[in-house]
Structure formats: structure tokens, C-alpha cells
Structure 1
């Protein structure tokens, strides 16, 4: 592989990765700035996806996923 192709591939990968980061949701995007438990329960599935992405030690099949997701949404991650 010549240097020109390598640089082109590298730039393409960096552009793709940066666009993914820009589209990443924050917890406030999901439940708002001051969520209550009803809002958290309503958005639980989306919160679980967020939690699995945010915490490397929480997996989608973890028995405690719902609890950690709710705590995270209610500002328990600070």
C-alpha cells in the first residue's frame, strides 16, 4: 500500500469516527436536565443503551443494567 492510499484511508476513518462522536447523545438529551423517575422509566430502553456505551464494565446482559441506568439518569454517575 502506498503512502497516498494509507493517508486517504486514515483521513476517511478519522472523519467517520468524528461524525459518530458528534452524534453521540448525552444523558440530558435522553431525559432532560432535571429528570424524574417517571421520565426515566419511560426512557429506560434508551438509557440502557447509553449506559452500556458509557461504562465498559456494564454489559447489555448485566443483571444490574436497569438499576445503573436509572442511577445514571438521576445523576448518580457524578
Structure 2
């Protein structure tokens, strides 16, 4: 996204910059390695993460605590953010 088309200091320019930053954070989230965290619930919970080698979202189990940001509640959410 090119934010230079908006007047500096305008609301649209600020929104544009925020969206670019959010997009970059989301992209870096998908580059993190799989991290199942540790078991702090009664059971492991099904989740999804983006596998950079396979270049697709895969299922995993999360312990309920810890881990990193490369964890999504649904396959669709993972696909939306990472592909």
C-alpha cells in the first residue's frame, strides 16, 4: 500500500500508515516457528499455524499457555492472515 498519495497529517494518511504497520506485524507473525506452548489446561487444544517450509496452514495442538503469535483458532483465520 502506498500512503504517499494522502496529504501528510491527514486522517487517511494516519489510517493508511496504521494499516501498513498492522499488515507487516501480521506477516511477521506468520514467519514465527510453530510453538505449542505448555499444558496449563486439562487438555491440548486444536489450533492452526503457518508453516513457512510447506507454505500453508497446518493443524497443531496448543497447551493453553505460552507459545507465540503464530497460532490461529481456525484454518480460515490462518489462511486469511498468512496466505
Identify the TM-score tier after normalising by the shorter chain.
0.3 to 0.5
TM-score, length-normalised on structure 2? 0.35
Higher Rg: 1
